[in-house]
Amino acid sequence: MGRYVARRLLLTIPVMLGASFLIFAMVFALPGDPIAALAGDRPLAPAVAAQLRAEFNLNDPLWLQYVKYVGDLFQGDFGTDFAGRPVLDTILDRLPVTAKLALVAILFEIVIGIVAGVLAGIRRNSFFDNLVLVSTTIVVSVPILVLAFLAQFVLGLKLELFPIAGVREGWYSYLLPGLVLAAGSVAYVARLTRTSMAENLRADYVRTARAKGLKPSTVVVRHTLRNSLIPVVTFIGADIGTLMGGAIVTETVFNIPGIGRAVFESIQRQEGAVVVGIVTLLVFFFIFFNLVVDVLYAVLDPRIRYD
């Protein structure tokens, strides 16, 4: 197992280098002059513009810019944005906020998604099962932007149950955006759990367990649920990475100062160093959580061995 994990971790290095170069090339190869845009209606004095270009290596060819960037990166220097603020500071400031949001979203996925899925799976074709099917269909088919505005307008402004925007009320502020961010995944998790449960409940080993006269709750929780969760855990694990990156819309609508908003704002300003820094980090998260999922597999299903 240890060797497997080590090998997987080593593999992330070329993947991250490749990903970062792609992102780097995409951002820096964008046509246009970020320094010119920086000045707006009035152009910068020529000497000032030259100074800034030199500072950010903007006159170098792309490959050289990348080599310089990675060189700095290996010394722990993520570079600075055009305002001179270290990118690392931005990441460290914003990451915890997005992490909280993602955590809230994951909890919603686990609690609502799995519970609804299990109940629907046990009582197939019941009223509850149909309710889950209908509501998940609605949630999945409505774009997240609409959901966000709807939640904000109804639950925030009209009913005053949640803050409309910002993170001023601590964890409480994260509930509504977390729910919106999780909505699609909650529906997916519920569906996945339901199907998986329904399938496994019909499996031979469950029938055997029942036949042995085990308590129904033991049959469901110890025997069926554990096996049924394997695809669900895969999905949730992969979803952590997606949630971290996919928070752009939610963070913008709910005005949450996290990574998603930082990426969005940086793309608008063509702040290459910031975009590359953050997105590379997100790629790393994605790879990392997928690794965690693969390892968890072995725990959930002893038949799976990696050595």
Task: Measure the N-to-C terminal CA separation of the chain; round to a whole number of Å.
Answer: 6
Q: Which is nearer to other proteins, 231 or 257 (CB)?
A: 257
Are 247 and 101 contacting, i.e. CB atoms less than 8 angstroms apart? Answer: yes
Cα distance between residue 271 and residue 81, in whole Å: 6
The CA distances from residue 109 to 126, 181, 192, 240, in Å, are 22, 10, 12, 11
Q: Which is nearer to other proteins, 16 or 25 (CB)?
A: 25
Those residues with Cβ within 8 angstroms of residue 303's Cβ, 6 or more apart along the chain or in another chain:
none
User: Which position among 57, 65, 90, 185 is part of the footprint of other proteins (CB under 8 A)?
Assistant: 90
Are 232 and 200 contacting, i.e. CB atoms less than 8 angstroms apart? Answer: no
Write the DSSP string, 210-265: HHTT--HHHIIIIIIIHHHHHHHHHHHHHHHHHHHHHTHHHHHHTT--SHHHHHHH
Adjacent-strand bridge partners of 166 = none
Q: Residues 192-221 vs other proteins: string with x where CB under 8 A?
A: ------------------------------
Residue 161 binds other proteins (CB under 8 A): no
Q: Residues 27-46 vs other proteins: string with x where CB under 8 A?
A: ---xxxxx-xxxxxxxxxxx
Kindly identify the residues of this chain, within the stretch 249-278, that bind other proteins according to CB under 8 A. 251-255, 257-258, 261-262, 264-265, 268-270
Residue 54 binds other proteins (CB under 8 A): yes
Q: Which is nearer to other proteins, 273 or 287 (CB)?
A: 273
Please, how many CA atoms are within 13 Å of residue 171, restricted to the half-sphere of its CB? Answer: 4
Residue 47 binds other proteins (CB under 8 A): yes
Kindly identify the residues of this chain, within the stretch 105-144, that bind other proteins according to CB under 8 A. 130, 133-134, 137-138, 141-142
Interface ranges with other proteins (CB under 8 A) = 30-34, 36-55, 59, 82-85, 90, 93-94, 130, 133-134, 137-138, 141-142, 146, 149-150, 152-154, 156-158, 160, 163-166, 251-255, 257-258, 261-262, 264-265, 268-270
